[in-house]
A and B are shown apart, each in its own frame.
Chain A
């Protein structure tokens, strides 16, 4: 049914073309395809595209396939295998002229041909194809395609495609030169495009607003639409930045929670914390390799398997470090700092010796790659996943600290070590477990970071200073403080970034934290009570 009506309409269009002096022009259009002037060629393509003549379609297709040839006299031939037919008639010529040359394609001609294809696809049976074609035409907004768009709009039934086509028509109308009698339709088009928004619409509208040939009312309307779109773009830009900030904040949160726990419970800054993250990332890689070698079917979920493995490996390593090194340095937090720094050098060099100094390729599974568009924002899935993961880790940690005996003991030791020991809490055991928990959390952070950053032996170094900042900014012994500090530092950096640049933003954040510590030497949420240092 649709096909029949389409043919009728195309026939009507064709009749119109016959009546107007367009027939002659169409005849010339074939010859124009061989013209050395690009403008003439694209005009010819537009003319032929709007023509119902089956030969026109064949000629355009041949042009796209580079099988359209021009004779020196300007006549155009299509090559089929070894033989040639005349493009205009589709008949084999009496004699094939000498000196046939293929008509060259360049980007402009390709784009024009793509537009023609899109125009044809507007009448395709699948709505998805029609929508894609409409998108392509919107991007080109070629004035010559207006009849095709109008026709497609007249027969279109699907609501979504109709909406899109209305927008395409608006863009196409505005692409035409201004004419006094078209003011109403152009005003309508400006309003439509203003409602669509986006950089493309802004470009068209700005062109209208800046053109002297347009009516003042139209220009005013276009200018207003441009300002509206600008405002929207800015607002979405801010939202996008906020998302980046949130995402970076969540990475910082993952990196800093473990550090905050060891610092809170034991008063020890673990300088090897970044290396624990690095090891977590390497564990992720090893788990992926192992799963690929044994059960390739499970490869997409290797990252999920890596989460508990990294936690256990890093946690165990943490307990070993505490038992083998840290416990000999009780009560000497600054010496512990130096010893763990030495440990971090050894771990870095060990990983470098085993896996090489270069980056290793940790896979991002398909379900974590790509992005979704929310309004004018691009939400990358891996960053979104890390945001969720950080939330889950924080929630889990809260449960451990609030609802388990270990958590209770850790909080007791954080508040007053000696009192806790007097109450029968085995503080060495709590220390070892707290250190293991902190290292395990670093391992989890490493799994997350492996999805967004380069994994090399230096990975830990790039996060350690920022994590320190989070810990001292937030204060110890309070996870809410760590959360607030991580988000504040993440967001703060990304908010400053567009105005003063990434490096200056980082410097500004560091200086702000240094100044903040002067006012609040124990961070935002200090531990209060008698057990606390002076």
Chain B
């Protein structure tokens, strides 16, 4: 009944290969960007920041794959965690500007002076310390996810209902962050960053280091995610995904398993958002838009749901396609994206990874015992 593999991916080797490839690619590109201008292998600043953006998105895709591919929670609001992580890092970067802003105020960011704020709101406390920002980057999304997840999973909100309320969550956050009164720069968001840890954000070396850091953190997250889904806990997740009621009847607590993976996933998304902000240089409420969350789901679907590597691959490929498409044929990008949604769901239910496996080793005709109730426990 379920088109996806009911087993957690056994191939640890594939994940290690993927992690190594990511680190190698990031490192190679970073090294290329440090070559002198005339060198044929020189990578421009634009390419480096683009690569950093793709890898950050790949972390978001990884987070989505964890909950959708393994716990069956179709989230339409994961960009909210991504953007929250971004805002947490953006706060630190804003404070790093210091007195170099337009208004030259050492303690207040420009937009606050513009809106005639007198002092920093309490939630900006400590934002001048990188360490605290690093804590917030995972803590804020994690906290929101635990509250939301605890409420939702405890009362067994599932399926389409859950998808819709995750979408409502990110939509509500978007509306809130558009408000000037919230203290996050309203419409413009946080931008015009100068330094990170004292290093100039526009210097090629800083950018190269950031790209490598993104690659390493993505690889680490990938391995961590593989560890989680490869464990007994991962098997429990898959059981919850495929037959939640039965798992409950067997004495497990599906809501706890879901909550754990949900919070873990939100933290990875937040980390991705933080890395995104350092390399793209802006975070604004548009990142909360429900369309972004849905797009991140399609990255996972293209790459292959429930494979981890597929999520990373899908995010990079789809975004690469988007960059090329919007440069060459801007009007046709939405047709392309729309067709991608439709064709992937119709013809590639297991994504590129599924296709790859199929090409390498066509599976024997799998005999799945018919489940009695086709309506129950749909993932």
Residues of A within 8 A of B (CB): 263, 267, 269, 325, 328-329, 331-339, 341-346, 348-350, 352-353, 417-418, 465, 468-469, 471-472, 503-504, 506-507, 510-511, 513-515, 517-519, 521-522, 531-534
Contact = CB atoms under 8 A, between A and B. Distances in A.
Given A329-B346, A510-B168, A515 B151 contact: yes
A465 B167 CA distance: 8
Contacts of B74: 334, 337
B128 interface: no
25 contacts: A267-B378, A329-B345, A331-B378, A332-B378, A333-B159, A334-B160, A338-B294, A338-B344, A338-B345, A341-B294, A342-B338, A342-B340, A343-B338, A345-B335, A346-B334, A353-B331, A468-B168, A503-B176, A507-B176, A510-B169, A517-B161, A518-B157, A522-B161, A533-B376, A534-B377
Q: How extensive is the interface on chain B, given as a class?
A: 35 or more
B324 interface: no
A265 B297 CA distance: 25
B253 interface: no
Contact of B345 (A339, A350, A468, A510): A339
Contacts of B335: 345-346, 349-350
Contact of B175 (A269, A346, A506): A506
B159 A345 contact: no
Contacts of B287: none
Contacts of B165: 472, 513-514, 517
Given A329-B346, A331-B1, A339 B341 contact: yes
A54 B339 CA distance: 83
Contacts of A346: 334-335, 338-339, 342
A531 to B, nearest CB: 7
A468 B167 contact: yes
A503 B178 contact: yes
A333 to B, nearest CB: 6
Contacts of A329: 345-346
A522 B340 CA distance: 32
A341 B341 contact: yes
Contacts of B379: 334
A521 B155 contact: yes
Contacts of B346: 325, 328-329, 339
A521 B376 contact: no
Interface in B100-154: 148, 151-152, 154
Given A333-B159, A521-B157, 20 more contacts: A263-B160, A269-B164, A329-B345, A336-B345, A338-B301, A339-B342, A342-B338, A342-B340, A342-B341, A345-B341, A353-B331, A417-B375, A468-B164, A468-B168, A503-B178, A513-B168, A514-B168, A517-B157, A521-B155, A533-B378
Q: Give the secondary structure class of A's interface.
A: helix
Nearest to A523: B161
B292 interface: no
Interface in B248-307: 290, 294, 297-298, 301
A334 B160 CA distance: 7
A355 to B, nearest CB: 13
B20 to A, nearest CB: 31
Contacts of B349: 335
A376 B377 CA distance: 54
B338 A333 contact: no
B168 to A, nearest CB: 5
B245 A534 contact: yes
Nearest to B166: A514
Q: In this complex, which of A263, A325, A510 has the most chain B Cβ atoms within 10 angstroms of its Cβ?
A: A510
B156 A521 contact: yes
Contact of A465 (B148, B151, B245, B290): B290
A522 B162 CA distance: 11
Contact of A511 (B163, B172, B245): B172
A524 to B, nearest CB: 13
A342 B298 CA distance: 9
Interface in B174-201: 175-176, 178-179
A507 B174 CA distance: 9
B325 interface: no
B374 interface: yes
B32 interface: no
A333 B154 CA distance: 22
Contacts of B223: none
Contacts of B3: 332
A519 B160 CA distance: 16
Contacts of B334: 345-346, 348-349
Nearest to A506: B175
B168 A333 contact: no
Nearest to B169: A514
Given A331-B378, A339-B342, A510 B171 contact: yes
A74 B172 CA distance: 70
Interface in B321-339: 331-332, 334-335, 337-339
A345 B337 CA distance: 8
A334 B379 CA distance: 8
A418 B370 CA distance: 14
Nearest to B295: A341
A337 B75 CA distance: 12
Contacts of B244: 534
B317 to A, nearest CB: 16
Q: In this complex, which of A339, A341, A515, A531 has the most chain B Cβ atoms within 10 angstroms of its Cβ?
A: A341
B342 A342 contact: yes
Given A349-B334, A472-B165, A418 B294 contact: no
B368 to A, nearest CB: 13
A531 B375 contact: yes
Contact of A345 (B163, B172, B175, B338): B338
B1 to A, nearest CB: 7
Contacts of B168: 465, 468-469, 510, 513-514
Q: In this complex, which of A269, A418, A515, A531 has the most chain B Cβ atoms within 10 angstroms of its Cβ?
A: A269
A333 B378 contact: yes
Contacts of A338: 294, 297-298, 301, 341, 344-345
B75 to A, nearest CB: 10
Contacts of B154: 518
Top 6 closest pairs, chain A to chain B, by CB: A342-B341, A346-B338, A345-B338, A349-B334, A510-B172, A342-B338
Nearest to B68: A334
B374 A343 contact: no
A337 B169 contact: no
A466 B277 CA distance: 30
Contacts of B152: 517-518
A532 B377 CA distance: 11
A333 B159 CA distance: 8
Contacts of A417: 375
Contacts of B245: 534
A525 to B, nearest CB: 14
